[in-house]
Amino acid sequence: MSEVAATREIDDHELVGQADWVIGGDAARKGRRQAWYAGYVTFLAALAYGFPVVQAVVKTADPAALREQLASPLTALVVLGAIVAVLWTMYAAGTRRGPVVPPLPWIDHVVTTPVDRAVTVGRWWRLAFGLCAFLGLLTGVTVGAGIAYGGLVGWYTAGLVALGGAVFGWLAASLWLWGQVRCWPGAGRGLLTLLRGRTALRALHIEVLRQHAANSSTIGGSVVAGNLRTARLQLARPVRRARSARLRAGGPFVVFVRRDLLGMRRLPSTFWAGLGLSILGAVVLAWALTHPAVPAVAVTIGLVPAYFGYGGWAEGLRMQADNIGTPNLLGTSLRAETLAHLVLPSLFTLLVLGGALAVAGIAVGSVSVQAVVLVLVLVALLAGAHLLAAFRGSPPKSTFSPSGTGPALLIAWYLLPVIAVLAVGTLATVLTHSSSGSLVWGVLLTAAIVSWGLSKSERLAQEHRV
């Protein structure tokens, strides 16, 4: 029996409102208005650009062949795989930076009070939940309306797609929160908390909120500063697996390949994430390369997971870039070490892409030589883009911005490698489909990207000496 001296009623909302005013003044109300405005702008962008693009893609393809392929079990499997991958990513993101991240002063002075935690942190959850549900619904509406207008499906199916988008957004937000709740051990963290948002908010531990707020500041700061190494280290879990495994000594080149293999053994999540994403990308790419009716945008879409899949296997390359500027410990030349770190990701990507193309070839009866060469070109292109990404160095300074690097320039700088892959990969495929002789342009553009990546790595090694 607990001993109760006295009880007192408190109005949680009233107290939080007062704290809100004391700490932020009118900032909270202004923040809400900004969120509504951002939603309004996103809606307009989807209406002006998203919807026309989707319906144009459908109209430029062969609708009958496309309808038949989209209704196939393989498409359902790929879509399901993509959904599972996104939901798993949301859950994993929640374990590092959940949806509920108030500023540290709010955590220390308001969340620590006896006021109901579901009320003190509710605002951040509502914002994250609203954002996910809105984006899911908007994506569903844009895609649904686009494919219905393009004549691919009926309006009834379009409505279902829109509804599916909203449900997907809700599920993604809930899993994001679930990941954050499960950061702290204890009871009451089962699947049911997915359905009970307020219970989940009350289960959030203060240390988790502090840690995630600190993670958020560090990651946000390092991303803005163009220092992705710090962000990566902040997100990374300490390695403890396969401790007894040893790096087998070898030649100055081979030992780096073995190093990367051992790294994957000790960080299996990077291997499996790379494999899952690469398979996802490979299925879409193989479909696009073996079916003439498939719109060119399928290559662009397939290259996105393929790019990130390659990146999952390229941790060694990023670690090499991290070492640049420190006193030299290794005897292998920079170029040889760089090439050694490309061996495993390129080999794995080639196996996955080649395997997917072989399976697709068996299904349709044949595979063209151009498709085989295109696979090789795409693997080289992914390698070149990851060279650009790993050795991107510091953000460029804008002569027009007083701060040096404006947000637009920073975003462009981050996106450059992936844009290079999407643009060159799509262009190479389209050119090859139109004329087999045009493949040479794809090869030349890819060679230029690889060469640019290698020269960037050498320039970065030279630049740090001031």
Partner 1 sequence: MSTITQLGGKVRAKAVGKTVDTTTLLLPTTVNADPRKCVVLRGPNGSGKTTLLRIIGGLLGPTTGTATIGGVEADERNPDVRAAVAALIGTPTTYRDLTLIDHLVLVDSSWGGDPNTADDRGLALMARLGIDHLDDRFPHELSSGQEQLFRLALTFARPSTVLLLDEPEQRLDTTKREVVTELIRDRAKDGATVVMACHDPGMTEALAHRVVDVKPAR
Where does this chain bind partner 1 (CB under 8 A)?
233, 236, 238-240, 243-244, 246-252, 255-256, 259, 262-263, 266-267, 315, 319, 322-323, 326-333, 337, 461-462, 465-466
In angstroms, rounded to a whole number, what is the distance separating the alpha carbons of residues 2 and 6? 12
Which residue in the block uniquely carries the two structure tokens 């929640």? Answer: 94
In angstroms, rounded to a whole number, what is the distance separating the alpha carbons of residues 47 and 131? 17
Of 244 and 434, CB closest to partner 1:
244
Of 148 and 334, CB closest to partner 1:
334
In angstroms, rounded to a whole number, what is the distance separating the alpha carbons of residues 217 and 345? 32
- Which amino acid is present at 257? V
In angstroms, rounded to a whole number, what is the distance separating the alpha carbons of residues 301 and 307? 10
Question: Closest approach of Cβ 239 to partner 1, in Å?
Answer: 5
Of 190 and 331, CB closest to partner 1:
331
Of 73 and 327, CB closest to partner 1:
327
Question: Closest approach of Cβ 382 to partner 1, in Å?
Answer: 22
Write out the H or E segment, with its range, that includes residue 428. helix 407-434
Question: Closest approach of Cβ 390 to partner 1, in Å?
Answer: 14
In angstroms, rounded to a whole number, what is the distance separating the alpha carbons of residues 344 and 316? 10
φ/ψ (deg, to 5) at 46: -65, -40
CB atoms within 10 A of CB 390: 28
Tell me if residue 6 falls in helix, strand or coil. coil
Question: Closest approach of Cβ 247 to partner 1, in Å?
Answer: 4
CB atoms within 10 A of CB 98: 26
Question: Closest approach of Cβ 325 to partner 1, in Å?
Answer: 8
Question: Closest approach of Cβ 293 to partner 1, in Å?
Answer: 44
Question: Closest approach of Cβ 97 to partner 1, in Å?
Answer: 20
CB atoms within 10 A of CB 29: 12
Of 138 and 339, CB closest to partner 1:
339
Of 34 and 227, CB closest to partner 1:
227
Of 108 and 322, CB closest to partner 1:
322
- Which amino acid is present at 88? W
Q: Closest Cα partner for 369 from 314, 301, 437, 304?
A: 437
